[in-house]
Each structure stands twice: as C-alpha cells, then as structure tokens.
Chains A and B, each alone.
Chain A
Amino acid sequence: MLIGIDVGGTYTDGVIFDQGEIKASTKASTDSEDIKGSVLRVLEQLLGARNPQDIQRVVLGTTLVTNILATGRGEPAGLLLLPGYGLPHDAYSISPHTWYLKGAVDFRGREIEPLDQKELAEALRAISAKGLSRVAVAAKFANRNSKHEQEIREYILENYPDIKVSISSEVSGKLNFPRRAVTTYFTAMTLSEWNKFADEIESALQQRGIDTSADILKADGGTVSLASSRIMPCETVFSGPAASTMGALALNRDKLNSVVIDVGGTTSDISLIIDGEPLYAAKGAVIENHLTHVNAFAVRSLALGGDSPIIVVNGIPELSPIRQGPAACFGGQVPTVIDAFNIHYALNIGDAEASQVKLASMAGDHALSLDQMTAVIVEKVTERLMKAIEEMFSQWEKEPAYKVWEVIHRRKFELQQLIGIGAAAEAILPPLAERMGVHLFMHKYSAVANALGASVVRPTLSVQVHVDTAANICTIDPGGKQAPLPQGAKTQLEDVKALACKYLVGIGGERGMGDYTGEYKFFMQEQFNTIRGYSGSGKLFDVGVQVKPGFIKEYKGVRS
C-alpha cells in the first residue's frame, strides 16, 4: 500500500493507493502554523485500523518551506556576496543582512582578484555581533571555481565554529548569480526548521510502526528521500502543482499535448504537458518574488476557484478573490462560482435549491435576472481561464532560442485535451473545453489526483557537468565538486556523457534512488572548440543527464 499526502494552502489531501485503486482518501483543513500536525492527522485518518506494516511507501508534499519564507519565520542569516565587476550592488536586494566582498573569478574559473582577508574578517565580526548564526555565501562564477566560497567557509569554521555556512556552488551549478545567491540564502534560512520537521516525521512514522521512511515531493515532479531533502529544502516548494500535474499524468498516460487545470477552492493552477511530459518554468521557481534555481513546473495560478464568491460591482456580476466559506449548495452563506455553474447548467450539485435562492436574491438586489447573473459568471470564469492558457501557449512558443536549429524547428502549441483535477473541475471546465474545441478528460479520481500523484511518482535527479579540457577540470552539479578529467586533453563528448552518467549513478546512489538511476536521459549536450591563434586549444562541454519525472515501477495505472 502506498500513501500520498499533499499539504496545500487550504486543505491537506491524502490517499491510500493499492493494486490500482484508491482504498481510502481524506481531506482536512491545513493548519499553516502546524504543518507536521496536519500531515500526521491525515496520516492517522488514512491508516485507521490498517496494519502499518503493509505500508510500503509514504510520500509527502508540503508547503512548509513556502510558509517559513512567506511568514518571515526563516532563521535570520547573513549573506556574503562576491559580485565581482559588473552590475551595481543595488541590483541585488536579497537580504537586509548583506555584505559585499572583494574577490572575483571569470567564466573560465580563472581568478581575477583574490579575497581580501581583512574585509572578510570585518564582515564576520559584524555578522557575529548581530548574533546571526547562519551565513549564505555566493560568488559570481563560483559554479566554475568555488575557491573563494571554500576559503570563506574554512575561515568561518575556524574562527566562528558556531556559525553554519551554506555556499552557492554546492546549491546550484547553473549560471545566474542572483538566482544562485537567492537559492542559497533561502536554503540557509529554512534548513534548521526543515530538519526539525524531518526529524519529527521520521519519529512519528516509527512510533506508528511504519517501517518505510518518507519521501518528499519536489517542485520538479519527482521525489527525494527524507534524508536527502535535508540538503536543499527549497526543492520542496510548489509541491502542490507538481502533485496535481503528476496526478493528471498518472490518470492519463497518453503522450498528448494537454492542459492540466486544478480547480481548487479559491485558486486554479494551470500547467502544460507536451508530448506527455510536463513543461518546466524556463527561469526556475519564483519564491517570495525572487527567481531561484529551483526546477519547477511552469504553472500559472489564478485567484479563481469553485469557492470564489460572486459579488456585484456597479450592477455587474464579478468574482471576488477572497474566500468566504464553501458554496451555498454546500451550506455556505454567499453564492460562489460553483453555485452559478450549478444553476446555469442544472448540475444538481449538493443543495441546488440553496444555490438558486442565494443567487436569485443577489440578482434581485441589483435588478438582474438569475439567468443574466449566471451567464455572466460562466462567461467570466471561462474567459479568464482561456486567456491564461493562451498566454502560457504563447510564452512557450516565444521562449528565447540560441541555436539555428531551435529557431527553425519552433512549434505551435497544438492542444489535444484538457485534464481536469480537483473537486470543482467537473462543474467548471466543460464550457471551457467546448469553447477550446477539445476533449475534457475527467476521472473518478480527479478530485484526489494530487495525493494519488504524490503516492506513485518516482525519484528524480538531474546532473550537469561542465568540462574545460584546457584547464583539465570537470565541475559537477549538484555538489559543485571539481575533478580532473580521466582522458585529459583528449576528452570527447562521449567521454563527458559517460562521466555525467557515472556521477548521476553515484549521486543517485547516495540519495537512495536505487536502480531508478538506470533510467536516465540526456537533456543537454553542448560542445565548443576553443580556438586561440589559428588552431584549437581545447574544448568546453556542458552535458546534462536526468532521471525525469515518472512513476514508480509498481504503478501500472488505475483501474477504471
């Protein structure tokens, strides 16, 4: 039996999945002050009288990291930036506790300017005087040479053993210094609370007699073991949209171009699936208004859901983004989007009489007919969803491209189906599908697809190596370690690909991925000849290999 739990902003959903069927499902309010408590309550409800020994897997998607950062509960951390010579310092507004240090390397990892030890000592004195016990360090091009970051960490370990240090080269090997700095800073701020959460979950599972450890759902639609989640908690943001999108794929495994719409209480999350594979956000996840190096699905969230209340402004029916409880047909006080669709299409959801009464009374107050009122709401909801979807298509079609091949092979997004997820999808999406002229796929498990998705997704891992043959260096992301090249100056693309695989298997092994590391695919293979004078002086390679989001071997689909 598999357990999937998805902690969302409003609700926490959970399922027990076994033999192609959902054996139990539950939904409870999320207590954002006590995420662990919310998880454990749902776990308890799911387990009931079941034998905990039968549980083979527990996967959690949580909003903990998002909550920590959004509510300012993060551990205060100092930020040491080494931005070198480029943008002015005011381009980086990341932390109120920022110190700028000298020291620079270039894109080939060559040192341009050494660290200034005196300046470093002063910064640390100030950090210590402020009582900060965590520091994030980010240097420009540290992903090509982390020497300065390492030196700073050693200095701190030696002189301030109580201050814990996160360095950017270990957090991400991708280009983009501000995103790397932000991701490192958020990692530093969330590590201790995440570790506490992980400890508590571990012991709760043990106490309950569950033998297996928990896996955590990441923004990229894959899982990571609870133990490995402690390296970079930021990866666990936006697990909700990841769970829904993977849930949609779990229910519909055709290799089609789909739009997944998860209609929740007050929000709708839209994601795209291209040829059966989820589309990633080109610039990484946005956390607290900052772009980061966290790999996340491209998701557009609209403040529009089944429980969005209807209001009348200047005689025109509108949608309010602020939830005031459930729909009238489920005992709520104010009419909502669900009520409007309920009446307009005679869906007979819940207490349809209540929908009718509340809507009619609101319409009467503003001299509108009931039909006018519901028609306007249906039109607005459909229009807003369609506009958001079309914007996503056009954004995808207009991604920058850096190769001739990419430009001439541009595609238009040709939509083949909508996939509805969430309790309100069945009521709200049919007119949208009709308008867009595509099939709406719904499944009996659509309402709990997020938790189902969480329970059956497999671990993911992406490894990127950057090779500079002239310098005889290979840099490995994640981790930022550097190693000489086994084939030295003779290194060819095939050698680099083999290296990347070796590291994928190695890192995946450390992270408990088992034989899933065998299912890798290359997502990047770049090579450049570096010419100095009139002959070649070496080659640069960037090779990326990953275990993509997918499903565990045990998952053979749902029984219909």
Chain B
Amino acid sequence: MKPTGILFFPAFDWAISPTHPEREERLLYTRDQIFEEGIMDLPQIREYEPGIASHSDVARLHFCIPDVAAQVTEAHLISAGSSLRIADAVMQGEVRNGFAIVRPPGHHSMTVSHGNRGFCNINNEAILVEYLRHKYNIKKVAIVDTDVHHGDGTQEIFWDDPDVLFISFHQDGRTLYPGSGFLDELGGPLAYGTTINLPLRPRTTDTGILYALDELIMPLLDEFKPEIVINSAGQDNHYTDPLADMAFTAQGYAKLNSRLAPDIAVLEGGYSVETALPYINMGLIMAMAGMDYSSLREPDFNPVRFQESSGNLEYIKQMVDRQLNAFRHREEVINANRKKGDDFFKSQRSIFYDTEYISEDQRISLRNCNKCGGFRIIDSSAQHHDGKYYTAYCISVPFWACDGCQQEARSLYADVLRKTPNRQVFLQDRPANQFRCYDVETEKETIL
C-alpha cells in the first residue's frame, strides 16, 4: 500500500504576536510527540518538504487589496504552498493521502482579503481547490470543515460554486466566533444545497459528532460524488480547547478521519497546544495511514467522562434530516431561482475583520446563467482602523464557467475600468489562468 504523505511546517519563527494563540509554540509539543514517536521513520509515512505558493496561486482564489504582497507574509505563502505540495504528492500518486500540518491557518479568510480575519489572511484549502482545477482539471470537490469555528471564509468563497460541496460542523454560532454557520445558510441561488452547516450545541461529544459524520456527511459525499475530499482539519472541538466548549477527543478525531478518509487534510485551528494537539495530530496521522490507533489517548483521558445526552442526539438527528432534505432538493430550488431571477442576482453584506478592526461593505452580483453557476462580481469598500479607505471592483470567473460567462466577464472588465469610481478593478480569469488588476489612479495594469 502507498504511504501517507505528511508535511509538517510548524513555522517556529512566526507569530501574529508573542502571546497570540497563533504563536511559535503552537505546534512545538506536536513536534515533540510525532518526532518522539518516530512516526516519520515508519514505512507507512513519507515526509515532504514545505512548498511556497506563488502570487498567482493566491490571486487565482483571492482578491488581495491592494495586492498579494500586502496581504501575505512568507509564512502564509509557505503554509498555502505546503498544502499544494501535499496535493501534488496525492495527485501524482506518490502517496495514498496526505496531511499538511501547517500554520498559519486560513478558513476564515474570504474571497476579498483586506487583512487578517480570525487569525487567517489567505484560505489554504480554497487556494488548493482552484490549484487542483487549474493543474489537474478537477471539477467536483468536497471540503469538510471539522474546525470548531464555522468555516465562514471557505463558505463565502464557494457560496456560488455548485461543484464544491462545503460541509461545516461547528459549535453553534450563537455561542462562538464567527457567529455564522446556521442551518439556513445553504448556498447561493445557483449553488443552493452544496453549502451545508451543522451548528452543534456546546459540549457535544464523540457520539454526537460521529453520528453526524455517519448519518449526514458520509451520505452527502456518497450522493455528491466528489473527485477529491478535503478535510479542513481544525482541532479545536477538543474538550481542552481554551477558545471553544466542545467535548471531542483524540480518539474521536482519529475515528472521524478513518471513516471520512479524506484525500487531503490541512490543519486549521486548535489552540490547546499541550493537552490536545500532540494527540489529535498523532491520531489523524495514524488514521490516515491506516494504522491501529486504539492505544492512543490523552494523558487525562477518561472514557466515561463525556456521555452524550439523548436530548442532544435527538436534536442532531433533526438537523441531519433537515440538511439531507435540503441537499436532496437542491436542483428544484436552483431551477426555480433561475426562472424567477433577473440577469443578475444582487445582494450585499458587511464584514468585520476582528484581528485588524477593518469594516468592509460588499455589493455582490451573480450572473443568472442557465449553462453554469454564473460569474460573480464583488464591489468592495473597506475602512481600515487608521482611517484609510480601499475600494475595489472584483470580477471572478469560475474555472468551469461557460463560454458566455467568460466573454461577458472579460468585456465587463474592459468596460468598467474606464468608468468605475473604485480605485482598483480586478479580473480573476481562472479559465485563462490570468489575474489582472487595473489601478484607476495610476492607469497601470498588473497581470499575474
């Protein structure tokens, strides 16, 4: 059997700030544990060296304002690039699956990036999805977000993409950052039902989470038939996590990963650096490599400590039924939306960047197309903490966009840059793998 690829990049010289949860120490004890176990020496494991994502890998997914260099440090490019490195190893058949244990994380980062949100600047898994499409012509992808926080960035990015099934289970947004991820967030008008959220009550245990896995996530994957399954592998559902309040164990994480059998897992959050991460990471590696993890446990593990209440299990059951139903009726809803929609579906929203105190307003238009999921325009303006103001008109053409959408998007770009009140106009032309940015003031265009 082929080995499991592991790419361990703990970024021991990078932190958001010295005492921030995203600091050098975060993967130190994970390093100690997996090196002491000698896991990289095993024939079942192949260790990979970090990669570096290019600016065009980032621009394929994000609109970085004002440019990629402003939004990423070398650490971000290595974290994203390492996810791509592991993806290459999987796609080229060197390994059967792969786990990028990397930081900084990315799942709160959205399409337009004005700064750091929820410890994230750029979205590793989403960059990975567009890379898989560009390099390997992949169409259907499933992302299962197992972080305790709602993967709001990833959700927003694939909100209008009918070929990405995004499933997130998380602690209920009424009790935890970022306050989203409710049952009725099911995707955009032409991609309805391929965003699935499962907000769980605080202190949900292994039993509850594995029930959701078996009864909701696995059936969804069976029916959606993705070419690739990605685990957005946060580790903060653990019972010792300081930022959340769930009761998941290392055994639970290991079981989840052996049943989910993701092709690629990428580390997201998880801030119980001593009492959870070393053991969860071991569990994930062993599960992905098909090894017996039955003797793995946390030092303070007590098998009878967390018992799922029958009330909570019943609550989860109801949510599972409701979400399965929404998914199974998605095409009817999409067809109805197409019929009743105008040329463009319009919406707007405000986004707050907790880490950097940036307030952003977006006006969003999605082309109502009967051949594809449509292309998307985000008209964004953001006020920074220091009073600076940024405006950008962002046109995003999906990799699988129909010819009509591609042409219309390109001519829109040429048209808009002559009359927009915004400072910058972007055209993210994924089918052409060309990422343009026009600066209205300097009249200069940069192409990545």
Q: Chain A interface (Cβ within 8 Å of chain B)?
A: 85-91, 104, 106-108, 110, 112, 140-141, 175-179, 283, 291, 398-405, 407-408, 526, 528-531, 534-536, 540
Contacts and interface: CB of A to CB of B under 8 A. Distances in A.
A137 B196 CA distance: 52
25 contacts: A85-B295, A87-B37, A87-B38, A88-B293, A89-B295, A91-B42, A91-B291, A104-B299, A107-B36, A107-B274, A108-B274, A112-B299, A141-B32, A176-B38, A177-B36, A177-B37, A177-B38, A283-B41, A399-B49, A402-B8, A402-B31, A403-B12, A529-B19, A531-B19, A531-B23
A107 B36 CA distance: 9
A179 B50 contact: no
Interface residues of B, number: 45
A236 to B, nearest CB: 23
Contacts of B13: 403-405
Contact of B48 (A87, A400, A540): A400
A121 B355 CA distance: 57
Nearest to B36: A175
A141 B35 CA distance: 10
A402 B10 contact: yes
A407 B278 contact: no
Name the 8 nearest CB pairs between A and B, nearest first. Answer: A107-B32, A178-B38, A175-B35, A112-B299, A88-B292, A403-B13, A398-B49, A175-B36
Contacts, number: 112
Contact of A529 (B25, B282, B297): B25
A179 B38 contact: yes
Contacts of B291: 87-88, 91
Given A87-B291, A400-B49, A291 B23 contact: no
B24 to A, nearest CB: 6
A529 B18 contact: yes
Contact of B75 (A404, A528, A530, A540): A404
A175 B24 contact: no
Contacts of B282: 86
A408 B38 contact: no
A531 B274 contact: no
Contacts of A398: 49
B260 interface: no
Interface in B50-85: 50, 52, 73-75, 78
Interface of B: 8-14, 18-19, 23-25, 28-29, 31-33, 35-39, 41-42, 47-50, 52, 73-75, 78, 274, 278, 282, 286, 291-297, 299
Contacts of A88: 291-295
B23 A178 contact: no
A161 to B, nearest CB: 32
B294 A407 contact: no
Nearest to B274: A108
Nearest to B28: A528
Nearest to A403: B13
A400 B19 contact: no
Contacts of A110: 299
Contacts of B286: 87
A379 to B, nearest CB: 30
A499 B13 CA distance: 24
Nearest to B15: A529
B294 A531 contact: no
A404 B78 contact: yes
Contact of B9 (A106, A140, A402): A402
B295 to A, nearest CB: 6
Nearest to B38: A178
A88 to B, nearest CB: 4
Given A176-B41, A404-B13, A530 B299 contact: no
Nearest to A533: B242
B237 to A, nearest CB: 20
A175 B32 contact: yes
A402 B35 CA distance: 13
A526 B296 contact: no
B365 to A, nearest CB: 39
Nearest to B42: A91
B360 to A, nearest CB: 28
Given A107-B32, A528-B24, A404 B41 contact: no
A141 B8 contact: no
A400 B32 CA distance: 15
Contacts of A106: 299
A535 B19 contact: yes
Contact of A107 (B18, B33, B293, B297): B33
Contact of A526 (B12, B38, B75, B294): B12
Contacts of B12: 402-403, 526, 528
A88 B14 CA distance: 34
A412 to B, nearest CB: 13
A534 B23 CA distance: 12
Given A86-B282, A404-B74, A529-B23, 16 more contacts: A86-B37, A87-B39, A88-B292, A89-B295, A107-B274, A177-B37, A177-B38, A178-B41, A179-B41, A400-B49, A401-B49, A401-B50, A404-B73, A407-B74, A528-B25, A531-B18
B8 A534 contact: no
A408 B36 CA distance: 27
Nearest to B47: A400
Contacts of A141: 32, 36
A180 to B, nearest CB: 9
Contacts of A408: 52, 74, 78
Nearest to B37: A86
B81 to A, nearest CB: 9
Contacts of B278: 107
B78 A407 contact: yes
A88 B295 CA distance: 6
A178 B75 CA distance: 32
Nearest to A181: B38
